[in-house]
Amino acid sequence: MSTAGGPVAAGAVAEWRIFLGPRYRRFQGIGGSGAVVAALAGDGLTIPLLLALGASPALATVLGVLPYAFSSAQLGVPWLLRRFDGNLRGVTLIILAVGETRGFILGALTLAAWVGLISNGLAILAIGAVISLGGAATTIGGTNLLAWYGAILPDLERRFVAPRVMGMTLGLGSILLLPVALLVQLFLPELGVRIYAIVFLVSGIAGVTEIVVIRQLTRPGRVRIAQPSAPAEGDPPPIPPSPHLQPFLRSIMIAAFGAGFGPYLSIYALSVLHLPPSFAILLSAISSAASLVAATVVGGMLARGSASRTLRVSFLLRGSSMLLGLTAFPQNPLAGLIICVVAAVAAAGASAGTLSSNERLMRLAPGPDLIRWQGSFVAGSAAGITIGQLSNAAILAILPLGYPAFAILFAVSGLTRYWTAARAEVSETWSSSTRIYRNEDLRKP
């Protein structure tokens, strides 16, 4: 891919036209099938299902955070790569096979609860276990895929491809969740939770498709991860990490705490505003659409400019969305509309934050040590979200379920993001690209 006249010089729409061309069919398949799994086996459906089975909002919140907590297992990926002789391809495929096919198990558990084979309480716990392990595996496998892209693509092309694959996964769900919201609204009274089982089955099929497409990618070679010790005689000296790396990881952890402390908008809509279950799924559809738009814009920006400044803007967007949520009190006739706006702004900020934070990490982390720093990045995010969301659940469990409890969550989450934005390190200009990521260092013979 050339620098002049190529995707880097094109506008966002033209860039997407290039990405949707025949050259990137496999990457489109990964993004599209991953979007089905993310939409139909994500918390946009599992949280309303848990509530329908009788889980309390506090319990649903705790179960919703467990995938993030378990994703800290990313720290073990360097050990796995050493154990399996640097086989990044094999390790990634096995992990994704666990995560992306969870729809089959979720569907089976939902049907078992419907026919009475298991109690609703046991179904809630089992579904919580599946979304915890499966969701964590999806996160870890997706992070490994980014390293895979860095090993098989020149840096300029990686900057072009990776944000768009992630953008499809984050945003394409809007096309899926809108009809799902309609199906739930129409058939939930007649079919009960069976409607969820059907959707989960589609998710499982999409997960199998995704694995098949990923297997067709160019092999990344053996990715060697050295033991965290002094280099042996004759080994090249390790590349020191950027001095900006640790402050970046701290800011990500603090921002993740703010994300975890923020309330599930679906729980707020169902429990406080007393809106129908289809509205909760509609919120996920709005979020997905906003994510797609944000990914389209941010993907082009990151190819040419500052990841750190884009990340700061994402903090401000997410903080503002939470503070706007304070105005969606039950007596406000526009509360439902406000929550829709909150969902859109928060999702746009989250999409921009996901893309820019991953891009900044790849620019700051040197060579094959990227795998190790990805572990610290995911584990720090998981710790922040887990602490925040457990605090969130404690407030919902202690205080009466109503607007005052959720107002605390909105306020703390929003102010935390503002504080993080104020303290985040950023590059000098919007055109700064931090450094060029050296993918030749990642793929060593």
Pick left, alpha or beta for residue 54 (phi over 0 → left; psi -120 to 50 → alpha; otherwise beta): left
**The pair of three-digit structure tokens given for residue 105, joined into one six-digit string:** 């198990």
Residue 9 maps to a domain: no
For residue 233, CA distances in Å to 236, 240, 249, 368 come to 9, 18, 32, 19
pLDDT of residue 366: 61
**Cβ distance 251 to 136 under 8 Å?**
no
In a domain, 15, yes or no: no
Query: Which CATH number do you get for residue 142?
Result: 1.20.1250.20
Kindly tell me if the per-residue pLDDT of 376 is higher than 80: yes
Q: What is the pLDDT of residue 435?
A: 45
- 227 has pLDDT over 70: no
| 68 vs 78, higher pLDDT | 78
- The answer to whether position 5 is within a domain reads no
pLDDT tens-place string over residues 165-178: 887 887 676 677 77
Q: Model confidence over 124-164: pLDDT tens digits?
A: 999 999 998 998 899 888 888 988 988 888 877 887 888 78
- Contact (CB, 8 A) for 310 and 301: yes
- Is 445's pLDDT higher than 60? no
Residue-number span of the structural domain to which 171 is assigned: 24-225+241-436
pLDDT at 7: 40
Residue 381 lies in a domain: yes
Domain total in the chain = 1
Distance CA 316, CA 49 (A): 32
Tell whether 445 is covered by a domain.
Answer: no
99: nearest Cα among 61, 73, 60, 125: 73
Give the residue-averaged pLDDT of 415-431. Answer: 84
Q: Which of 269, 208, 225 is nearest to 85 (CA)?
A: 225
* pLDDT higher than 80, residue 10: no
Q: Is residue 369 part of a domain?
A: yes
Q: At a CB cut-off of 8 Å and minimum separation 6, what does 238 contact?
A: 226, 231, 366, 369
More confident residue, 206 or 286: 206
> What would the pLDDT profile of 267-278 be if each residue is shown by its tens digit?
899 889 988 877
- What pLDDT, on a 0 to 100 scale, did the predictor assign at position 344? 93
Predicted local confidence at residue 2, as pLDDT: 38
Give pLDDT tens digits for 184-213.
Answer: 767 777 777 788 888 899 999 999 999 999
Residue 6 lies in a domain: no
Burial 334-346 (b: 16+ CB within 10 A, else e): ebeebbbbbbbbb
Q: Record the tokens describing residue 273, joined without a space.
A: 């505003």
Question: What is the rounded distance in angstroms from the CA atom of residue 9 to the CA atom of residue 14?
Answer: 9
For 12-36, write each residue's pLDDT tens digit.
677 778 888 899 999 999 999 998 9
State both tokens at 4. Answer: 């002049």
Residue 8 confidence class, pLDDT cut points 50, 70, 90: very low
Residue 270 lies in a domain: yes
SS3 call for 222: strand
Mean pLDDT of 233-262: 78
